Amino acid sequence: MKHARLLLAAAAAAPLVLAACGGGGDDGGPVTLRMTTWSANEDHLAMLNEIADAYIADHPEVEAIEFDPLPFEGYTSTLTTQIAGDNAPDLAWILENAAPDFVSSGALVPLSETLAETEGYEYDDLVPAATELWRQDDELYAYPFSTSPFGMFVNTDLLAEAGQPAPAELIADGQWTWERAVEAGAAVHAATGTDGIVIRDFDYTGWDNLSTLWTGWGASAWSADGAECGFDDPEMVEALTFMHDAVFEHQAMPGPGTTADFFAGEAAMTVTQISRAGLLADAPFAWDLVPLPAGPTGEYAVIGQAGLGVLTVAPHPEEAADFLAYMTNPENSAKLAQYFPPPRASQLTAEVLGQANPLLTPEQLQTVVIDQIDSGVVKPSHTGQAQLDQAVRAALDPLWTADADVAGVLTELCTAIDPLLAR
């Protein structure tokens, strides 16, 4: 019995011993910083490593900077699990839909002072519209390293095959509207059997991507202060009725449970961010990138963002904040702009972005990116976003059947999420 107790005690103590072995205590020597990203793209990592190497060369207090790519799907869950498991990174990319939770919870280190005091940083160069989501009470908690508007990629070969005019022509004639886009999508589907319009990453679950459509109707998921549900507003009912008709009546968009990848030539048009243009490098079809079609309330823009922050529970928050200031200074921001549209006014030029996006013409960059960053509406986000996300997804499911009562579903949706919005 005594032996058994001893054994149990030894087994229980084992994790403590393991933890002590793995801790790598803070002895005041050079530190290793770790940053989580959701990009495992080799070019992205090479660029990040280049910036990190230059920093380490001048900063003996940092001996290494590791970039730790996590899968995009489940990124925020993995990050929070690492934090819960006492294995938090020093710096982390943060998705826009997680921004309110991270910014308001105290999970991130305030950055304004560090950035403003860094020599040559040009803090005032940051575009206010781009940093809004990442600020609280005028304090900046994360740097929006990617501020990328949504546009419409178009397979002009498929449109021509269906006898439809290219969107560029429609834009020139002032006729580039959702109604015309759906008409063209339906024509492509009828003529070729290929799908018409795909709102990328929506797939009947990622509903926040539908803001790229409903913003054109003046609708929004909730009021600006986040307190009131906007799904039962007449504008939203009209926008989603339009979408419902496009799917089930006109068959201009693939229905639920059907996958179609524009970049593999399986759809005529897709709504997504410009950063996907790289997927078209070897496209066997002719394509164009145009701004989102106008809705009933006119032209509009929607932007997706990603922030970079230092975690409060990071092992080395001070060194991490200093590296963040270096990584996002004007010189390095220009490097980052190769892949991610920067939030710096001085760098939002077709010339800078053009070096980074050789597949896009200066005109495309001007109309789809630069002109839109100031006026763009950021995709919906709210504190408790994960729970809201799930609740809205579940409540929207009944909408995606041919005989759905759109207004009825949306009224019920608001009943379901009102308690979450009120928190």
Q: Can residue 163 be called a binding residue for another protein (CB under 8 A)?
A: no
Closer Cβ to another protein, 207 or 323, answer by number? 207
Task: Go through the chain and tell me how many residues it has.
Answer: 423
Which listed residue (32, 80, 112, 411) binds another protein by CB under 8 A? Answer: 80
The SS3 of residue 137 is coil
Q: Can residue 7 be called a binding residue for another protein (CB under 8 A)?
A: yes
Q: Minimum Å distance from CB 411 to another protein?
A: 16
203: tokens are 């797939």
Which listed residue (22, 25, 193, 257) binds another protein by CB under 8 A? Answer: 257
Q: Minimum Å distance from CB 12 to another protein?
A: 6
Q: Can residue 387 be called a binding residue for another protein (CB under 8 A)?
A: yes
Q: Can residue 251 be called a binding residue for another protein (CB under 8 A)?
A: no
Which listed residue (41, 87, 223, 258) binds another protein by CB under 8 A? Answer: 258
Q: Can residue 383 be called a binding residue for another protein (CB under 8 A)?
A: no
For another protein, how many residues bind (rule: CB under 8 A)? 39
Which listed residue (283, 370, 384, 407) binds another protein by CB under 8 A? Answer: 384
Contact 407, 235 (CB under 8 A): no
Which residues, numbered 98-137, are part of the site for another protein (CB under 8 A)?
101-102, 105-107
26: tokens are 């803070």
Which listed residue (1, 3, 24, 46) binds another protein by CB under 8 A? Answer: 3
How many Cα atoms occupy the beta-carbon half-sphere of 400 within 13 Å?
16
Q: Minimum Å distance from CB 310 to another protein?
A: 14
Closer Cβ to another protein, 218 or 384, answer by number? 384
Q: Minimum Å distance from CB 385 to another protein?
A: 9
Distance between CA atoms of residues 49 and 57, nearest Å: 12
Contact 197, 185 (CB under 8 A): yes
378: tokens are 């950021």
* CA pseudo-torsion sign 347, 263, 298, 383: negative
Contact letters (x/-) for another protein, 176-205, by CB under 8 A? ----------------------------xx
70: tokens are 């996590």
CA dihedral 227, 232, 237, 243 (to 10 degrees): 60
Nearest to 302 by CA among 242, 252, 239, 246: 239
> What DSSP assignment string belongs to 160-190?
HHTTPPPHHHHHHTT--BHHHHHHHHHHHHH
Closer Cβ to another protein, 301 or 410, answer by number? 410
Residue showing tokens 């989580």:
36
177: tokens are 């509207």
List interacting residues with another protein (CB under 8 A): 3, 7-8, 10-12, 14-15, 76-77, 80-81, 83-84, 101-102, 105-107, 204-205, 255-259, 312-313, 384, 386-387, 390, 393-395, 397-398, 400-401
